């Protein structure tokens, strides 16, 4: 039987674009902030009300949630953004650097303020945000070389909050798209502020669009998450994943809809960054050879680990946390595929 090797090579390159040559698993564009996390008795706060707390700390937030978790899951990650030369900028650089994140794409601007987000968290894990905007991404800051050397470009609407950020992020997306770098898009709640035509353009170029159920319904205007996933697929997203918290996730790929179960019902200590950690688990699974359903299950596990965490010294998931969870579920097959443990020991 004759075999068209040229076609086989082409199909492999489409499925795994230039991965043999790339240096990074993921390049993240924008949204480096410092979170100032404050524990309160309850939300919402009432006018003229005073609540006293002894629990408050700073930690890198925004895209740093994804970066730290992805790096802890053995992914090689870099970030393209800008910070100020203030205390908050130093916190971001020091902690991300200690976590193994490549920071060569981060520019430090003198006499500038780093964006900070004040987050109030109650005893049920609910939270409210107040953003204090600092220096933001500009087109000239973006290092296209870091994008081209990556398997995935990670994008959210938080990196498109101003005209200059939109231009910079769209340039990054176009660079990725033209060079067969897979685009992972998590719109987040700020999808409401992005011009509709730009939102549709980003979705149409995405390899994966990952979002929660309220965002999916808000973007599409339909009544069910199933119809929302189909609508997003029709907008051009190759794979759609709808995050549904304790109900797991909905996956749409190749016109097939399926639910991926949650791992357990959890009382959340804090849901801050859970979606970013879910996304890190999803990309980790795909990069390391899991099939889509297995990768979404891994994402559910990483998200579940995150919502249990609160302490400053232990706020983000670790690989050991995830390994323990997979062992508890007896998913030795996934552990073996990830290369984190030899399943033969458990047969």
Cα end-to-end distance, the chain, whole Å:
40
Domain membership flag for residue 329: no
Domain membership flag for residue 99: yes
What is the model's pTM? 0.89
CA distance 3 to 182: 28
Q: Interior CA angle at 265 toward 260 and 270, to 5°?
A: 105
Q: Interior CA angle at 113 toward 130 and 311, to 5°?
A: 55
**Residue 296 belongs to a domain with what CATH number?**
3.40.1190.20
From the list 216, 45, 31, 212, the residue with the least C-alpha distance to 128 is 45
Q: 24 — alpha (psi -120 to 50), left (phi > 0) or beta?
A: beta
pLDDT string in tens for the chain (347-residue length): 333 333 333 333 344 545 556 799 999 999 999 999 898 888 898 898 888 887 888 999 999 999 999 999 999 999 999 999 999 999 999 999 999 999 999 999 999 999 999 989 887 777 888 999 999 999 999 999 999 999 999 999 999 999 999 999 999 999 999 999 999 999 999 999 999 999 999 999 999 999 999 999 999 999 999 999 999 999 999 999 999 988 899 999 998 999 998 876 665 556 677 899 999 999 999 999 999 999 999 999 999 888 776 554 567 899 999 999 999 999 999 999 999 976 444 44
From the list 5, 13, 11, 64, the residue with the least C-alpha distance to 35 is 64
Kindly report the number of other CB atoms within 10 A of residue 170's CB atom: 17
Q: Interior CA angle at 209 toward 204 and 215, to 5°?
A: 105
From the list 116, 114, 58, the residue with the least C-alpha distance to 86 is 114
Total structural domains in the chain? 1
CA distance 180 to 19: 10
Token look-up 């998913």 returns 331
Domain membership flag for residue 11: no
Domain membership flag for residue 294: yes
Domain membership flag for residue 342: no
Domain membership flag for residue 234: yes
Domain of residue 234 covers 17-32+59-113+136-318
Domain membership flag for residue 330: no
pLDDT in tens, 131-175: 999 999 999 999 999 999 999 999 999 999 999 999 999 999 999
Domain membership flag for residue 177: yes
From the list 154, 246, 162, the residue with the least C-alpha distance to 202 is 154
């Amino acid at each position: 039987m004759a075999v068209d090797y040229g076609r086989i090579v082409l199909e492999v390159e489409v499925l795994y674009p230039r991965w043999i040559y790339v240096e990074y698993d993921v390049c993240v564009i924008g949204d480096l902030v410092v979170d100032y996390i404050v524990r309160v008795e309850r939300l919402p706060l009432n006018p003229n009300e005073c609540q006293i707390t002894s629990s408050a700390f700073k930690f890198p937030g925004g895209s740093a949630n994804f970066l730290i978790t992805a790096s802890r899951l053995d992914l090689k990650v870099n970030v393209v953004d800008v910070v100020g030369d203030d205390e908050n900028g130093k916190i971001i650089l020091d902690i991300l650097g200690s976590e193994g994140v490549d920071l060569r794409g981060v520019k430090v601007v003198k006499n500038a303020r780093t964006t900070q987000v004040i987050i109030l968290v109650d005893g049920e894990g609910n939270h409210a945000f107040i953003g204090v905007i600092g220096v933001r991404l500009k087109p000239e800051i973006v290092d296209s070389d870091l994008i081209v050397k990556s398997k995935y470009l990670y994008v959210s609407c938080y990196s498109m909050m101003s005209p200059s950020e939109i231009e910079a992020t769209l340039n990054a997306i176009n660079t990725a798209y033209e060079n067969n770098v897979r685009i992972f898009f998590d719109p987040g709640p700020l999808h409401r502020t992005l011009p509709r035509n730009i939102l549709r353009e980003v979705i149409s170029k995405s390899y994966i669009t990952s979002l929660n159920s309220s965002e999916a319904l808000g973007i599409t205007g339909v009544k069910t998450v199933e119809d929302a996933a189909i609508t997003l697929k029709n907008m051009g997203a190759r794979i759609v994943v709808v995050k549904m918290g304790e109900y797991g996730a909905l996956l749409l790929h190749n016109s097939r809809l399926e639910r991926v179960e949650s791992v357990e019902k959890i009382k959340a200590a804090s849901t801050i960054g859970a979606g970013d950690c879910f996304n890190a688990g999803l990309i980790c699974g795909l990069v390391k050879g899991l099939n889509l359903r297995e990768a979404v299950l891994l994402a559910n596990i990483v998200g579940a680990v995150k919502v249990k965490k609160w302490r400053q010294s232990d706020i983000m998931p670790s690989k050991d946390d995830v390994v323990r969870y997979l062992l508890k579920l007896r998913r030795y097959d996934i552990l073996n595929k990830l290369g984190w443990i030899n399943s033969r020991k458990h047969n």
